[in-house]
Structure 1
Amino acid sequence: PNLVSLIRNRRITKLFHFGRFDLAVLYHAFGVMPEPVFCTKIASKLTRTYTDRHGLKDICAELLGVSLSKAQQSSDWAAETLTPEQLEYAASDVLHLHRLRDVLAGRLARDGRTKEADACFRFLPTRAKLDLMGWAEEDIFAH
């Protein structure tokens, strides 16, 4: 009930890295779409145009000077009980999102791309729903 209340609260911006996936999972699991959102991966792609490395590990290293371990990334996340290492990994994965959001929001403003980023963030729930409807791989905007 607390998580659903948080997801429903439109006064709180929910932070994600690759929010497209997380939003689809949360919507599928709880039937509620998190809004408003800020996605650090999208913000990174709009501001760090000099690279194609937009993973959380890469942007934390470059923008925050923080080294993230990805040792648990490919472990068994479908297990009924998560290991202490998996729980620590999951917690550390979101630990830096607030600072990243602040740095990236500053870069978006500097580059004059805040409006475009906001439009992307507003569209993200629709993109997640399209993924769940079967259009994950197809660009429905393509000719």
Structure 2
Amino acid sequence: MSTPHNAIHLHEGDLPDGLDLGKIVAIDTETMGLNPHRDRLCLVQLSSGDGQAHLVQFIPEHLGGRGYHHCPNLKALLQDASVTKLMHFARFDVAVLQHYLGITLNAIICTKIAARLVYTFTDKHGLAYLSRELLGIEMSKQQQSSDWGSPHLTEEQLRYAASDVLYLHALWEKLEAMLIREGRRELAQDCYEFLPTRAKLDLLGYDVSDIFAHRA
């Protein structure tokens, strides 16, 4: 689907040939749950920050789709070190993408990590909260727990999925300014560069038993 009203473009299995999303791309995912080994990847949302959202839907082969093995354009973008991937709670999204697409991501920025480094006066660092506080944008989370595995997503699901990437560029602009102001931009970058490895540790089962934690 693609209409001027909602600026949402739905693609099955991969991004279209020749699509240029620029050097900073906002990315999010929708899955069947929060366990990458159990809960399959259903949707990848992308935006260049221009009000357009591109949604790549993955439909398993047994449901008549192409599965995860035929998305060269999406994989190329995710592995392109010259393209910055802008995410919120990148730790989860990176783990899911690496697990299902068999790739290693790089050049990542996480607005949740940025918020936790500079928004220390609150324990609220969700995307909806930050968008309201910093951008004055109200985001509905009503579709968050809906069935993303359906081959036929509703208009409400598509609008919800798109909203998770449409405002990340503006949010990052605010948070990066705060990181620089507080002298923590370099520290944030160190955290971002560790994210692909952190995701691999999560996939190995070290998400709860953290190897950095002290154990007697």
TM-score, L = length of structure 2: 0.65
Residue type of the partner of 2:210? D
Quote how far apart the aligned CAs of 1:15 are.
Answer: 0.6
1:45 to 116, 123, 134: 116
Alignment of 1:18-97 (within 5 A): 18-97=89-168
The unaligned stretches of length 5 or more in structure 2 are: 1-71
What are the Cα deviations for residues 10-59 of structure 1, in whole angstroms up to 9, with x where unaligned?
A: 00110100000000111011111221100000000001010000000000
Write the distance in 2 (CA, Å) between the matches of 1:26 and 1:79: 19
2:52 maps to: none
Corresponding pairs, count: 143
Q: In structure 2, how many angstroms separate the alpha carbons of the residues matched to 1:141 and 1:22? A: 21
C-alpha distance in structure 1 between counterparts of 2:136 and 2:177, whole Å: 17
Distance in 2 (alpha carbons) for counterparts of 1:4 and 1:37: 15
Partner residue of 1:141?
Answer: 212
Comparing 26-35 and 60-69, the one that deviates more: 26-35
Three-state SS of the structure 1 residue aligned to 2:205 is: helix
Q: 1:136: Cα distance to partner?
A: 1.2
The two structures, once aligned, show a CA RMSD in angstroms of 0.9
CA distance in structure 2 between the aligned counterparts of 1:135 and 1:81, rounded to whole angstroms: 35
Please, which moves more after superposition, 101-110 or 76-85? Answer: 76-85
SS at match of 1:15: strand
Q: CA deviation at 1:73?
A: 0.5
The answer to which structure, 1 or 2, has the higher relative contact order (CA under 8 A, 6+ apart) is: 1
Match of 1:134, SS? coil
Structure with higher helix content: 1
The question of 1:11 aligning with 2:85 is answered no
User: 2-side partners of 1:30 and 1:40: how far apart?
Assistant: 23
> Is the partner of 2:86 in helix, strand or coil?
strand
Q: Provide the C-alpha distance between the structure 2 equivalents of 1:13 and 1:113, rounded to a whole number of angstroms.
A: 19
Equivalent residue number for residue 196 of structure 2: 125
1:2 Cα offset (Å): 1.2
Q: What's 1:111 paired with?
A: 182
The aligned counterpart of 2:36 is none
Structure 1: 5+ residue runs without aligned partners?
Answer: none
Query: How far apart, CA to CA, are the structure 2 residues paired with 1:17 and 1:6?
Result: 18
Distance 1:84 1:131 in 2: 33
More strand by proportion, 1 or 2?
A: 2
CA distance in 2, matches of 1:53, 1:78: 29
